[in-house]
Amino acid sequence: MHSVCFSPCAVLVVCVSYVSAYSCDCSGSCLASTTTGNYLGVRDSDGVHFLSIRYAKPPVESLRFADPVPFVPSQNVTYDASSLPPFCIQYTTYQSEDCLFLNVFRPEYSENERPLPVMFWIHGGSLLVGGTPDPTIYGANLAKAKNMIVVTVQYRLGLLGLFDDGYNTNFAVKDVILALKWVKKNIGKFNGDPSLITIAGQSSGGTMIRALMSTIQTVGIFTRAILMSDPMGYGFNKRSTSVNLITGMIYNATGCSDISCMRGLSLTDILNAQGAVVSNGPGTYPEINYAQPFSPVIDKTLIMNDFSTYVERGNLPIQVPMVVGTVADEGNSQVEDVVSSPVSVAYYPIILTEFLGAKRAALLLATQQFLPDPLKDDSTRLELAFVGKLFYWTCAVQRMALSYFSNMRKMVYIYETEAGITYPANADLSLCQAKYVCHESDIEPLFGTYNASAVTRAQIAVSQEIQERWYQFIKTGNPNSGSYAYWKPLRSTLKLNLLKIGKSKVVSKLYPDKCSLIFGRVVKFDYQLYSQ
């Protein structure tokens, strides 16, 4: 039995004892004992946080390009868990190759508390950037608002995470699996419920979830999954793409021809070689995709097939209830990144060809359904953004969800978010102003990390709705609550039961003809062409 105090300490100190969870003293620090060491976290008015818990040994030197190994704590050492870890290696300042950490956020303990449900968050960033120091995914607000545990995790990025020498790869995916196993084993030490873990992620975090569901290594660990704005038009990399093309380019750029040479490279050399693939790979080889050139690999060891192949055959290794959806203007920021100001409609076929390749662009143009209107402002970019939205996100997600239900009879709730809060990095984009709901505009609403003086009541209401529905889904599997519009799982092409978040309504169809007749049929998704 530990003697535990919880407070507001300064005002009133109540001491209670309980067994087998963390303990807090009244100075603002809390101690948790885990399989990877004792961690001294912090408590403040938002709850209790254990930051920078090591779940794996530093993946450096001989462990670079190797499977992650559980961290073994030094005896009698209590690790500081009061600040966020550095980012994994990318183009930023606060970064380190020694980056395999996770953070546990929980609300203040309440007497007789029952074990709390857990949301395990996998950040996005094209598997190239991002990480848990990003203030928009700081978990404390959400943990407090919904009385649940929020875990945020880091995994190796880019070349360090997905290098493939032909023998071993998928280090990034294995990092997340090891972190999940850590949570399963240790979350009880924070009074979390190890039988109620939901994995959730945005963008490439959703792609990572597809990988986690495509391997038997995660059997029995998580109960549900939430995939937000996953670009499902992209599949995993085939081994031939990964080894012959991507590693081929890497070897050309570094002068290396094996893993031991690669282990000796400086981080600058690693980033430069990675940069060569990111900037030249997709233009040179259509198999290498633009958004996530370093993607999970169908290595026939960890992952035997592309997620879509499994879903279409009805034999996905992990079949759990899902929430899956997109935002209203997924494509806008991507288009503006490439085309920074309005251009004439004459450029439309040229840019479309750049995005889809000549063959698919021609097929799409021949449908006559996606043509910019020369009389409307900025219509070239807006039409490109609309195509991008349907092609990479909305129609690909719809097709997957329909197969997920019809081939495996599993529950899948589908949504589109029509109101959000512009993500800080998109704030200057003209196509992400006020009326647009860009990629990432649902992150601050979910985490409650927006600037409260800079949002409208309607935006706050959307944030509350997302938090409440996600929480209910995580806790019970049913994302309904109170007076919110009643949301049922998908049933068929004619009964998507798609929730329009921000509009408080459920619709039965969304772009039915474009999604069922054009994308995936006439104009094939990347995963249909390059991941089978």
Minimal distance, residue 420 CB to ligand NAG, in Å: 17
Q: Which residues bind ligand NAG (CB under 6 A)?
A: 75-76, 245, 248-249, 252, 451, 453-454
Residue among 184, 177, 111, 187 at smallest CA distance from 148: 187
**Cα 379 to Cα 385: distance, rounded to the nearest angstrom:** 10
Give me the residue whose beta carbon is nearest to ligand NAG: 248
Comparing CB distances to ligand NAG, the nearer of 249 and 361 is 249
CA distances in angstroms from 266 to 94, 97, 165, 261, 354, listed in the order given: 17, 11, 18, 11, 33
For residue 71, the one-letter residue type is F
Comparing CB distances to ligand NAG, the nearer of 12 and 452 is 452
Nearest-Å Rg of the Cα atoms of the chain is: 23
Minimal distance, residue 449 CB to ligand NAG, in Å: 11
Minimal distance, residue 177 CB to ligand NAG, in Å: 29
Comparing CB distances to ligand NAG, the nearer of 151 and 245 is 245
The gap between the terminal CA atoms of the chain, to the nearest Å, is: 55
Long-range CB contact pairs, 370-378, < 8 A, 24+? 372/345, 372/348, 373/345, 374/344, 374/345, 377/342, 378/342, 378/430, 378/431
Minimal distance, residue 455 CB to ligand NAG, in Å: 9
* Structure token digits, residue 66: 């190797």
**Cα 118 to Cα 106: distance, rounded to the nearest angstrom:** 9
Comparing CB distances to ligand NAG, the nearer of 84 and 323 is 84
SS3 103: strand
The answer to whether the beta carbons of residues 143 and 152 sit under 8 Å apart is no
Minimal distance, residue 452 CB to ligand NAG, in Å: 8
Minimal distance, residue 379 CB to ligand NAG, in Å: 31
Comparing CB distances to ligand NAG, the nearer of 136 and 516 is 136
Minimal distance, residue 499 CB to ligand NAG, in Å: 29
If one counts every other C-beta atom within 10 angstroms of the C-beta of residue 220, the result is 9
Comparing CB distances to ligand NAG, the nearer of 17 and 252 is 252
Comparing CB distances to ligand NAG, the nearer of 101 and 290 is 290
